[in-house]
């Protein structure tokens, strides 16, 4: 079963506008972590933002914020004031416990295109 779902294969946004990338997750573990990573066309994976399941406040890092709706099991990434350099693949990920330890699993990704 899909544990991390990113329903938007591709998104377009105008430069300087805000954009929301959707992510829903499924877990029965009460303790988990949610992450967003960016993968530009050059291929490297860049960590953007983290939200713990017990964190009361939504995480923010510069122009990135995570809209955490625990009851809905959603962890959407909001990018404010989009820049051309934001064009990339964006992956939502979840770290959860399992028998034997923890693992981080990824969604299928959303490709973001920022238009000038």
Partner 1 sequence: DTAVSQTPKYLVTQMGNDKSIKCEQNLGHDTMYWYKQDSKKFLKIMFSYNNKELIINETVPNRFSPKSPDKAHLNLHINSLELGDSAVYFCASSAGEGSGELFFGEGSRLTVL
Residues that bind partner 1 (CB under 8 A): 35, 37, 39, 43-45, 47, 50, 89, 91, 93, 95, 97, 100-106, 108-109
DSSP 50-109: EEETT-SSPPEETTEEEEEETTTTEEEEEE-S--GGG-EEEEEEEEEEETTEEEEEE---
* Nearer of residues 17 and 98 to partner 1, judged by Cβ: 98
Smallest distance from the beta carbon of 47 to partner 1, in angstroms? 4
* Nearer of residues 43 and 85 to partner 1, judged by Cβ: 43
């Amino acid at each position: 079963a899909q544990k991390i779902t990113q329903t938007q294969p591709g998104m377009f946004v105008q430069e300087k506008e805000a954009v929301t990338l959707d992510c829903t997750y499924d877990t029965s573990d009460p303790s988990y972590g949610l992450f967003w990573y960016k993968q530009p066309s050059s291929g490297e994976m860049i960590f953007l933002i983290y939200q713990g399941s017990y964190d009361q406040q939504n995480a923010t890092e510069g122009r990135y914020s995570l809209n955490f709706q625990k009851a809905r099991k959603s962890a959407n990434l909001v990018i404010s004031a989009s820049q051309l350099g934001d064009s990339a693949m964006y992956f939502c990920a979840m770290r959860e416990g399992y028998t034997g330890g923890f693992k981080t699993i990824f969604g299928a990704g959303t490709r973001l295109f920022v238009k000038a």
